[in-house]
Each structure stands twice: as structure tokens, then as C-alpha cells.
Amino acid sequence: MKKSSDNLLRAAITAVRDCADTMETQAASLLEALPTVPMNDGLRASALELIAGLKDASSRVTFELALLQAELGEGKAEAESAVQRLAGMDALMMGAVAAMADVVDELEKAAERDETNERSFVMVIEATGAMLQGLEKAKATTQALDAAGPAAVKT
């Protein structure tokens, strides 16, 4: 059982880290590309601000994961705390991605009005989709860890 528990914890940490890495990569790509594609300046500013929020969220999660792993390695983290912290990281990333919904809607409307805006819409929707896939996996592994109970976090 211990090996299975350790595997659940490792899987949850890995999934959360992978999600944060995906978010960082997608945000960096969008921050580089969006200034060069045709789109409304106000919408561009809103998108870039939210994308900066994605980068901030991914950096915070990466930092929190490093702290959690250090505490687990030293035997300082308790089971419930570890699961709650991982769930909190999931929620932080989901909040950052969910904030993109309004910009995605506005980009879609802009693309429907003028096809020159389609490229920015496609870029943002594809990046958002990639981030949502990572979030689903992170959330699922954190929930599996939670369902396994406190013994799953003991190292």
C-alpha cells in the first residue's frame, strides 16, 4: 500500500507541475506572439494583462510545489495539508485560466466581425485548451490522492 500511496502523491505533484509548466509555456508563447498579430488594441491590452496573470500563477505554483516537496522530504508536511495545498494550486491555476474566458469571447466576436482577428482568437483558444487539459489532469490526480486518504501522503 505504501508504494501505491507514494505513487499517488508523486502523480499528483507531477500533474500539478506539468500543468504549471504548460501554463508557463503557453503564456510565454502568447506574450511573444500577440503583439504581432492583428487585433483591437484594447483587447490586446486586456489579453496581455490576463496572460501575465497566467505566468504569475504558474510561477507561484512552481514555488509552492518546491516548498511542499521540501517539507514532505523533511517529514514536515501533514497529509491533509499536502492535499489541501495541491488543491489550492489547482484552484489558483483554474482561476487564472477561467479569467481568460471573457477575452476568448471578445476575440471570437472580433473574429466573426473581421476575419483578420481570427489568428489571435485561434492562438488564444488553442493555448487555453492546452492549459485546460493540464488542469483536468492535475485536478483528477489531486482528487485521487484526496480519495486515498491521509495515508497516501505519508512519505
One digit per residue, the tens of pLDDT, for the chain of length 155 reads 355 667 888 899 999 999 999 999 999 999 999 999 999 899 999 999 999 999 999 999 999 999 999 998 888 877 678 899 999 999 999 999 999 999 999 999 999 999 999 999 999 999 999 999 999 999 999 999 888 876 655 54
94 with 132: CB under 8 angstroms?
Answer: no
pLDDT of amino acid 2: 53
Q: What residue segments make up the domains of the chain, in order of their start?
A: 2-145
Residue 27 backbone phi and psi in degrees, to 5: -65, -45
Tell me the C-alpha distance between 88 and 111, whole Å.
35
pLDDT of amino acid 75: 83
* Predicted model pTM: 0.89
What is the sign of the dihedral through the CA atoms of 118, 119, 121 and 125? Answer: positive
pLDDT of amino acid 72: 87
CATH of domain 2-145: 1.20.120
pLDDT of amino acid 1: 38
Tell me the C-alpha distance between 8 and 83, whole Å.
11
| CA 48 to the chain's CA centroid | 17
Tell me the C-alpha distance between 49 and 17, whole Å.
23
- One-letter amino acid at 20 equals A
DSSP string, 59-112: HHHHHHHHHHHHHHHTT---HHHHHHHHHHHHHHHHHHHHTHHHHHHHHHHHHH
